[in-house]
Amino acid sequence: MRLNALRILLFLVIVVSWELMSGPVIAEFFISRPSVIVRILSDWITNGSIFFHAGITAGEAFSGFLLGGFAGMTAGIVLGRARLLADVVDPFIMAFYSLPKIALAPLFILWFGIGMDMKIVLTGTVVFFLVFLNTYTGVRSVSRELVAILSLMGAKERHLLAKVVIPSAVTWVFAGLRISVPYALIGAIVGELIASNRGLGFVLADAAGQFDTGGVFAALIAIMLLAFLLNTAVKYTERKVMPWKSADETREVTI
Amino acid sequence: MGSAVVEFEDIGKVFDAGRRAVRAVEHVDFRVYDGEFVTIVGPSGCGKSTLLNMAAGLLQPTEGTVRYRGAPVTGYNLVTGYMTQNDHLLPWRDVVGNIAVPLEIKRLPRARIRERVQALIDLVGLTGFERSYPAQLSGGMRKRTALARLLAYDPETFLMDEPFAALDAQLRVNMQIEVRRLCRRLNKTVLFVTHDLDEAVALGDRCVVFSPRPGTIRKIIDIPLAPARDLLRLRHDPAYVALTAELWDMIAPSFAATGGEPG
Ligand SMILES: Nc1ncnc2c1ncn2[C@@H]1O[C@H](COP(=O)(O)OP(=O)(O)OP(=O)(O)O)[C@@H](O)[C@H]1O
Ligand SMILES: [Mg+2]
């Protein structure tokens, strides 16, 4: 609890010095001030607009996350189990992987327009590669002894997948999903910055367009909260899906 | 004596471990017959696990042929059940889940699986730990889970690699009695690796003694004890005492030769 007290103290120091510096030290135009940001946020909350825009962004990020995560996991498992196929497609995948996915945004606008679809696909593409590469590594590192033991019991490929490959790769899948969270938001927000009339990215661009620094900071804080929510959701699912993991974490270490 | 089940025909195996080639076994030639309980003893690293791997079809010999009921073993030998030296349990499944694996593969109905798993858990004395994950079990408990899993899938031939090495004396005797009784009743063929000479005599119908690496057969001892022997009273059986003494004398000189390196 001392830790939390220290954290709150640090937070207060930052907020108070920000409030005091704004004006006398740095022009308020550049850094706004916490009291203004809080007022803007509470305005947005009372008129409900923040929930509308956050809902749009969260919807895009979440759908893209699911789409990309699911596709990445499937591709990772298939290629992880099919050696020849993996070797054949390896250079293509690497070529696409090195491409900054954001550079695909203009192409996706041409294909899907400027609606939510385009942001979902952009987010999905970003998440896909992260989850795919992790899953692939996970499937490749499956214990060959376990595979042998189960094969000896007469297990077919589908048994091996369900009982050995997927459970052991799932740790890696979630590692991929966890690092994907900020990237999923990048996909959604950048998509909105480029072309949109709704979503937190739009709010951000709109406030900046009106030289409303307080609005920009308020939008950034809303984005941070959204990221926090997504992170928590992933962690929660991880615990639900891998009960043996939490059993492992809470057990006392013996060697 | 019935027909040969597992046949090792002049087996040799060289492992290509990086730059260095390791010869694990050479000229190993013996047969295991239907319903027979064969124990294998020999110094550490002499290739006992290697032989079991070959019988299971996980490993191919570099010389000779391993046959199972006459046919060469070339891939997974699905009628054998292997309890490996390391337990190799699924870390993401609890005790119940691990024992259920072979039954799920055989597509038994859920109710039957639950019933059978519970019976096996009681048999190996893991009652109360049904929902524990392998990481939460002691070494001996993991071994017992692996044993229960092996018994669950009821193969024709058991390959057991030091299955009781991590158990206390009392539990070990119970397990020995249980396994011996089960194998006799169901007429299983067993290949059983152990470092415990008493165990090798107490359980076996025959005992194969190996030399240090590269492993060759030093001797195959017949164990003329009654098939339905009372393991608890064996210590008072002069035939048993003489046999363990004979085995001990045979192993002891090789201890001296390796400078007392534990076998
Ligand atoms: N997969 C492998 N790759 C390379 N070398 C191996 C492999 N498995 C076993 N060996 C070598 O083969 C020899 C025999 O090993 P094996 O595991 O059969 O011994 P063991 O008789 O079972 O010994 P222990 O009683 O200690 O279990 C050892 O020298 C070992 O180093
Ligand atoms: Mg061994």
Strand, coil or helix: A122: helix
User: Does the pLDDT of residue A71 top 90, yes or no?
Assistant: yes
Question: Which amino acid, A147?
Answer: V
Note the pLDDT tens digit of each residue in A205-251.
999 999 999 899 999 999 999 999 888 988 899 888 888 887 777 77
- CATH code assigned at A81: 1.10.3720.10
For B:118-137, CB contacts with A below 8 A are 133, 135-136
For residue A252, the distance in angstroms to the closest alpha carbon of chain B comes to: 9
Best probe residue, ligand 1, of B40, B41, B49 (max atoms within 8 Å of C-beta): B49
Question: Which amino acid, B206?
Answer: R
């008129």: which residue's tokens?
A: A47
For B:141-170, CB contacts with A below 8 A are 153
Chain B positions touching A164 (Cβ under 8 A) are 90
A254 inside domain: no
ipTM: 0.85
Domain hosting A170: range is: 34-245
Mean pLDDT of B153-175: 89
Which chain A residue has its CA at the smallest distance from B152's CA?
A153
Ligand nearest to the CA of B194: 1
User: Does the pLDDT of residue A23 top 90, yes or no?
Assistant: no
Chain B positions touching A154 (Cβ under 8 A) are 78, 102, 105-106
Give pLDDT, residue B256.
58
- Looking from the CA of A11 toward its CB, the CA atoms found within 13 Å total 6
Give A216's contacts (C-beta < 8 A, 6+ positions apart): A32, A204, A207, A208
Note the pLDDT tens digit of each residue in A79-106.
999 889 988 998 998 888 888 888 888 8
A12 inside domain: no
Ligand nearest to the CA of B41: 1
In angstroms, the CA B133 to CA B145 distance is 11
Give A2's contacts (C-beta < 8 A, 6+ positions apart): none
A20 inside domain: no
In angstroms, the CA A101 to CA B93 distance is 38
Specify the number of domains making up chain A.
1
In angstroms, the CA A141 to CA B22 distance is 26
Ligand 1 atom showing the smallest separation from residue B47 Cα: 18
Q: Which domains does chain B have, with CATH numbers?
A: 1-79+160-263 (3.40.50.300), 88-154 (no CATH)
Is the pLDDT higher at B32 or at B171? B32
- Ligand 1, atom 14: closest residue by C-alpha: B47
A102 inside domain: yes
A126 inside domain: yes
A171 inside domain: yes
Backbone φ and ψ of B13, nearest 5°: -145, 125
In 3D space, the residue among B169, B161, B100, B171 whose CA is nearest the CA of residue B130 turns out to be B100
Strands B63-68 and B4-17, how do they pair? antiparallel
Note the pLDDT tens digit of each residue in B226-261.
888 888 888 888 999 999 998 888 887 665 555 545
Whether residue A127 contacts residue A69, with contact meaning beta carbons closer than 8 Å, is answered with yes
A134 inside domain: yes
Whether residue B263 contacts residue B251, with contact meaning beta carbons closer than 8 Å, is answered with yes
**The token pair that represents B45 in the structure block:** 């690293």
User: Does the pLDDT of residue B263 top 50, yes or no?
Assistant: no
Note the pLDDT tens digit of each residue in B174-229.
889 988 988 888 889 999 999 999 999 999 999 999 988 888 999 999 998 888 88
Contact A242 B92 (CB under 8 A): yes
